[in-house]
Amino acid sequence: MSTTTSTPPEAGARPLIDRAQYGLAAFLVLTGGYVLYDASGLEEGFADQPVQPYAVSYVVGAILVLLGVLLGIATARGDLPESDEGEDIDLTQGTDVRTVALLAAVLVANIALINVLGWAITGALLFVGATQALGSRTLVRDVCVGVALSVGSWYAFYVGLGVPIPAGILDGVL
């Protein structure tokens, strides 16, 4: 968790300008503006709906714009985020490229195979691949948890929410 500190500049010192915070503020305002613009093109739903489909988009867009403006004001006032001390991360070590590459490969394989094999299978493979890449040594447990999560989430989305997720080769079985 980061907190902000407001330290007045010493006499004669130039105030520190955090350009990254200004960039984030601009990004939030632009993203919120785009969401508001995009929401204006949505069609109205049924007359009996108390909340129209575009209502959430307007709320999200307005919140993004407001947060961007508030961040810009806070940055201009000199509020700076507290620097990260790394907690339990050794900041002197480099990135583990092998782990990142394995995670990327598992994600790309999931994207490539989801329409053929379906979410129930690729979701389990995604879970197992990610846990193995991150160093898990309990393959049987990882497979059981991965299958339970992927099949459970498939039913939750497909049956519970009505969101069609590919069943792949298990079409008719699930």
How large is the average pLDDT for residues 39-45?
Answer: 79
pTM of the model as a whole? 0.54
pLDDT of residue 44: 74
Question: Rounded to an integer, what is the distance from CA 21 to the centroid of its chain?
Answer: 19
Q: Which two tokens stand for residue 19?
A: 């350009």
Residue 84 phi, psi dihedral angles, 5° rounding: -75, 130
Task: Check: CB of residue 150 under 8 Å from CB of residue 124.
Answer: yes
Residue with the bigger pLDDT between 139 and 96: it is 139
pLDDT of residue 8: 54
Q: Which two tokens stand for residue 154?
A: 């498939």
Q: How many CB atoms lie within 10 A of CB 97?
A: 8
Cα distances from 2 to residues 46, 81, 83, in angstroms, run 44, 7, 8
pLDDT band per the 50, 70, 90 thresholds, residue 16: low
Amino acid present at 80: L
- The tokens 């200004």 sit on which residue? 22
pLDDT band per the 50, 70, 90 thresholds, residue 78: confident
